[in-house]
Amino acid sequence: AHKARILCLDFKKDGSTLASGDDRGQVLMHAVEKAAKYPRLKHEGDVLCLSFAPDASYLASGESLFGKGVLTIRRPRNTDVDGTMSEFVVDKSFTCEGKILCLSSSHPMGELIAIGGPKCGVCVRNVEDGNIRLLEHESATGKDGVNSVAFSRDASRIACGVGCSIVVRSIKTGDIITMLRHDESTNGIFSLDFSPCGTMLASGDDNCCETIRKFSSPTVSATFHHPKKCQSPAFSPVISAHFARS
């Protein structure tokens, strides 16, 4: 069990394993349906975000350490016959300016990874060689602060929450496809998720508002209000319904 505040969660894509990170640098793995002994992964700073690769080939973590952001990619060294990942080793590590507030692994094979933060902007890297595919330091909206990133399921587009706006870019060219806005009183969009078909985008902000719309249109399809900041809306992978947590 954790002995500190839990800051982030992510499920392995088959739903068998849950990873959780806390503000004392600990990442714990939890088996969902069976008792299993998983490794405890130690970090030097606060673990602010986690992301399993879609094919479970790695676990990525973003931490804050002495004013720097550290992205670490760990791969399972040993996998038991029942699928339990009994040991993880550090494969790659990258640093950036400021905190890494969000990260996302691309679909379908996890070949790209994106990070976002108030100083590092948005950075998309190839996982295998570490080369940068897209780097955006200047805010396209004139406001600082990237608080959320999400790939479309086919990894052709990336959405970024910047200030009160959502910027959708092409991964191939880096060009802006569209910009969508929340209410002007919003200070940050803290969560994003594309629908499985790639046509809808869910977003949550610090005004307790969750919005669902077509990413190519400013027209809002649905709005839900929550008692607190909406931190993690997500579409179901198999049906059109979605789930949101405040």
Q: What is the pLDDT of residues 62-81, one digit of tens each?
A: 999 988 999 999 998 766 55
pLDDT at 126: 92
Amino acid letter, 76: P
pLDDT at 47: 95
Contacting residues for 163 by C-beta, under 8 A, at least 6 apart: 139, 141, 142, 143, 144, 145, 186, 187, 188, 189
Q: Please state, rounded to an integer, the average pLDDT across all residues of the chain.
A: 82
User: Tell me: the pLDDT tens digits for 83-92?
Assistant: 556 678 999 9
User: Tell me: the pLDDT tens digits for 224-245?
Assistant: 777 776 666 666 665 555 544 5
User: Tell me: the pLDDT tens digits for 14-65?
Assistant: 888 889 999 999 999 888 777 666 778 999 999 999 999 988 889 999 999 9
**pTM across the whole model:** 0.80
Report whether pLDDT(144) > 70: no
Contacting residues for 66 by C-beta, under 8 A, at least 6 apart: 45
CA dist 203 and 233 (Å) reads 7
